[in-house]
């Protein structure tokens, strides 16, 4: 069987309040979806985050694979066209979405989940709940209420944003969060590339005294040497990689000894086919992987491999688009883990009726 047709759609929805991390403020969620229908009638779905640029790239990439069999390596080489689409960037997200849709279709054709097809190392994985953004008028009380609300829903690890305010202010926010969640819950911090080398080291020295699970993206994604220096100088685990692309990018990160944990995101770096290569290269260097990105995809991937550490989990109820997107939702278990669905493929069906009002292209 081959890919008969490709449908590409772009969706967007506003947040109730704009959310800010170390460097950026987001007013909307933007997601581009590709649906690949095969000659046997199966529809594989893939999606990635991004707006107009990703949508246009995705249309081009999706057209290339129509008529092709579901051969992941063959398709990947066909859609990786540096001279045409560029080597690493938003266009790589488009390639990622197509590759993810191919894997979803293969799973549906063979009645196996992606987690099972990729190795099925374990069925459930630890999760951390992402949040702790800066929003307008959000004081310490609101921050504490937010994170304790997450722990009441089962979270055993939570992540907060840092880097948008002076160091001393973030020190106080971190202490407030630690106090709110109590001793049994891990706290992760994420600077989203906000710091220079000096401030990153000052923050790391503080975090070392606070039993923090990891310090994510302290520096620019262009500063592998600085990250490697920080890895050497602090006992705190340094996590990064959500802004890295393809196995060659991850090879360079790993060879530079720039991270203790890799946040390899299959929706960004080139899809599931490329993710496996990054993660196996990491495994050969005894480095664990904890993907950034959507839990509906990454629960399968982290559960599939022996060096999967933990999955990022977003509460979709705070995101109108993600909340409406699928007929199924992934919940956090009572022990803070999430379980890989055993339904064929990724196991998530698009709720087209609910998505209609968020459609902007396609
Ligand atoms: Mg991050």
Residue 344 falls within a domain, yes or no? no
93 and 130 co-located in one domain: no
> Ligand 1 mean position to 250 CA, how many Å?
16
Domain membership of residue 138 (yes or no) is yes
Whether residues 186 and 277 share a domain: the answer is: yes
Spatial separation of the C-alpha atoms in residues 35 and 47, rounded to whole Å: 9
Question: Above 90 in pLDDT, residue 62?
Answer: yes
CA of 151 to the centre of ligand 1 (A): 20
Question: Are 48 and 113 spatial neighbours (Cβ–Cβ below 8 Å)?
Answer: no
Take residue 177 and report the two structure tokens written for it. 């969060």
Q: Are residues 143 and 254 in the same domain?
A: yes
Give the Å distance between the CA of 61 and the centre of ligand 1.
27
My answer on whether 325 and 353 are in the same domain is no
Asked if 53 and 93 count as a contact pair (C-beta separation under 8 A), the reply is: no
Q: How confident is the model at residue 352 (pLDDT cuts 50, 70, 90)?
A: very high
| Distance from C-alpha of 84 to C-alpha of 127, rounded to nearest angstrom | 38
- Asked whether residue 302 is assigned to any structural domain, the reply reads yes
In a domain, 166, yes or no: yes
Which tens digits make up the pLDDT trace of 66-119? 999 999 999 999 999 999 888 999 999 999 999 999 999 999 999 999 999 999
In this structure, the chain runs to a length of 362
Q: What is the CATH number of the domain that holds 300?
A: 3.20.20.120
Distance CA 232, CA 83 (A): 37
- Domain assignment present for residue 222? The answer is yes
The alpha carbon of 19 and the centre of ligand 1 are apart by a number of angstroms equal to: 14
Summary mean pLDDT of the chain: 97
Q: Are residues 102 and 140 in the same domain?
A: no
**Ligand 1 center from residue 252 Cα (angstroms):** 19
242 and 289 part of one domain? yes
- CA 362 to centroid of ligand 1, rounded, Å: 29
The boundaries of the domain holding residue 9 are 3-111+349-361
Per-residue pLDDT band for 316 (boundaries 50, 70, 90) equals confident
How confident is the model over 15-33, as pLDDT tens digits?
Answer: 999 999 999 999 999 999 9
CA 243–ligand 1 middle distance (angstroms): 9
224-233 and 197-208 helices, crossing angle to 10°: 30
Say how far apart CA 257 and CA 346 lie, in whole Å: 32
Residue 199 has what pLDDT? Answer: 98
Q: Among 237, 149, 118, 304, which Cα is nearest to 110's? A: 118
Q: How many independent structural domains does the chain possess? A: 2
Question: How confident is residue 342, by pLDDT bands cut at 50, 70 and 90?
Answer: very high
pLDDT at 92: 97
Residue 293 CA to ligand 1 centre (angstroms): 9
Ligand 1 centroid vs 192 CA: distance in angstroms?
5
**Which pLDDT tens digit goes with each residue over 220-244?**
999 999 999 999 999 999 999 999 9
Per residue in 283-308, pLDDT (tens digit) is 999 999 999 999 999 999 999 999 99
pLDDT above 90: residue 139? yes
Q: Tell me, what CATH number does 37's domain have?
A: 3.30.390.10
Ligand 1 midpoint to CA 216 (Å): 6
Contact 23, 193 (CB under 8 A): yes
Same domain, 106 and 135: no
How close is the Cα of 301 to the center of ligand 1, in Å? 18
Ligand 1 center from residue 190 Cα (angstroms): 6
Q: What are phi and psi of 26, to 5 degrees?
A: -110, 130
Alpha carbon 60 to chain centroid, angstroms: 23
């Amino acid at each position: 069987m081959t890919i008969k047709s490709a449908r590409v759609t772009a969706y967007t929805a506003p947040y109730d309040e704009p959310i800010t991390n170390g460097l950026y403020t987001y007013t909307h969620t933007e997601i581009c979806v590709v649906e690949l229908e095969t000659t046997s009638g199966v529809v594989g779905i893939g999606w990635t985050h991004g707006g107009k640029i990703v949508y246009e790239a995705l249309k081009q990439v999706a057209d290339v694979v129509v008529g092709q069999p579901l051969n992941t390596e063959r398709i990947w080489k066909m859609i990786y066209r540096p001279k045409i689409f560029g080597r690493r960037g938003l266009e790589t997200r488009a390639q990622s979405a197509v590759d993810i849709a191919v894997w979803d279709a293969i799973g549906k054709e063979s009645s196996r989940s992606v987690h099972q097809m990729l190795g099925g190392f374990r069925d459930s994985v630890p999760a951390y709940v992402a949040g702790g953004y800066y929003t307008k008028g959000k004081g310490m009380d609101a921050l504490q209420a937010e994170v304790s609300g997450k722990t009441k829903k089962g979270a055993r690890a939570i992540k907060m944003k840092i880097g948008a305010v002076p160091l001393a202010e973030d020190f106080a926010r971190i202490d407030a969060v630690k106090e709110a969640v109590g001793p049994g819950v891990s706290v992760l911090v994420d600077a989203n590339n906000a710091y220079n080398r000096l401030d990153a080291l000052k923050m790391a020295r503080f975090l070392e005294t606070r039993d923090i699970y990891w310090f994510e993206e302290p520096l620019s994604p262009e500063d592998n040497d600085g990250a490697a220096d920080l890895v050497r100088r602090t006992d705190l685990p340094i996590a990064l990689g959500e802004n890295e692309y393809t196995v060659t990018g991850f090879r360079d990160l790993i060879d530079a000894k720039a991270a203790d944990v890799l946040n390899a995101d299959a929706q960004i770096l080139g899809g599931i086919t490329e993710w496996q290569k990054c993660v196996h290269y990491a495994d050969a260097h005894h480095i664990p992987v904890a993907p950034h990105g959507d839990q509906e995809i990454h629960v399968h991937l982290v559960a599939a491999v022996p060096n999967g550490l933990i999955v990022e989990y977003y509460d979709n109820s705070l995101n109108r688009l993600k909340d409406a997107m699928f007929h199924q939702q992934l919940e956090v278990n009572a022990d803070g883990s999430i379980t890989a669905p055993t339904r064929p493929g990724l196991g998530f069906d698009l709720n087209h009726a609910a998505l209609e009002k968020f459609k902007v292209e396609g």
